[in-house]
Amino acid sequence: MGHACGRAAILWAVRMATWNLQGRTGDWESRQQAQLATLAEVTPDVVALQESWVEPEGATQAGWLAERLGMHAVTAAELAGFDRYPGAPYWVVNSLVARWPLVQLAARPLPDEHGEGTWRHVLIARVERPDTEGGPFLAVAAHLEHGLDRSPTRRAQAGALAAELSTHLGPPEARREALPAVLGADLNAVPWSDEVRGLTGAAEPLQPGLVLVDAWDAAGNADRGDTWSSANPRVPRRAVHPNRRLDYVMVTWPRRRGAGHVDGCRLAGTAPIQGVWPSDHYAVVADIDL
């Protein structure tokens, strides 16, 4: 995006997207072309990806997309399970793609409610946006456990995610003078769940002194914004519980005055490209003043 916001010349509009790409299920190469076409149309500044593939020799889906979009990418490749499954042709992890260079700061497994590590994880990077365009900020990709009965696990993972964010953002007094972090995540949880309410401050915050603003709600959207929808043929026809909002763009608070305002939030990837549906999840796209 890269244009100065009218309310404050020191802030710029950043288009943040998040998308679960569904790994390599089905005709993944055709789906990947549809994903590329969708992202080219959306023109995001930063994209958080979940279930993006990485191969044993190091090739990544984020890198493939970034090369074709003229962007930069980092991938949590070190968290792939090739050490445990050496014959696996690929693994799925979180990635970040951005218009500006990225510096990976952390790739951490998220623990379950018993404190045991899981394959779910958080990826944090510093977006090296030039000072002339607003300066660097943190971008985060995360993916929590699925399963209707796994709210305790997701709550523990969400708490670890918030703690990791808090560490990288610094103490609350410093955050009030800094740009917020932007999170793109498949939380596998609806907005009224304990885990999401704990992140957004609708319940006791999971991390003291840190709350995340849900861009969909902050934009004033009146519809549900389901990202896993029975209208999408890639969602199983007899799924136990389709039609849920599971994917989120969020902005941390506290933050510099005026920064982090959500100008709009919408879904993308909601239609086939040349007959191909890109993923079983819709993407979420938010315009944020940073």
The pLDDT assigned to 206 comes to 97
CA dihedral 68, 131, 216, 174 (to 10 degrees): 140
Mean of the pLDDT values across residues 202-223? Answer: 97
When the pLDDT of each residue in the chain is averaged and rounded to a whole number, the result is 95
Q: What is the pLDDT of residues 87-146, one digit of tens each?
A: 999 999 999 999 999 999 999 999 999 999 999 999 999 999 999 999 999 999 999 999
Share of the chain above pLDDT 90, in %: 93
16-260+270-280 fold: Deoxyribonuclease I; Chain A (3.60.10)
Residues whose CB is less than 8 angstroms from the CB of residue 122 and which lie 6 or more positions away in sequence, other chains included? 94, 106, 107, 108, 110, 140, 141, 142, 160, 161, 164
* Res 265 pLDDT > 50: yes
User: What is the pLDDT at residue 149?
Assistant: 96
Please tell me the predicted confidence (pLDDT) of residue 246: 98
On the 0-12 / 13-18 / 19+ scale of CB atoms within 10 A, 98 is buried
Each residue of 25-84: pLDDT tens digit? Answer: 999 999 999 999 999 999 999 999 999 999 999 999 999 999 999 999 999 999 999 999
Q: What band does 172 get if pLDDT is binned at 50, 70 and 90? A: confident
* Residues across the chain: 290
Q: Can you tell me the distance from the alpha carbon of 207 to that of 211, in angstroms, rounded to the nearest whole number?
A: 8
Residue 168 · residue 138 · CB < 8 Å: yes
pLDDT computed for residue 11 by the predictor: 82
Q: What is the pLDDT of residue 1?
A: 55
Encoding tokens for residue 214? 């849900």
Q: How does pLDDT run across 4-15, given as a tens digit for each residue?
A: 544 444 789 999
CA–CA distance, 286 with 271 (Å, rounded to integer)? 18
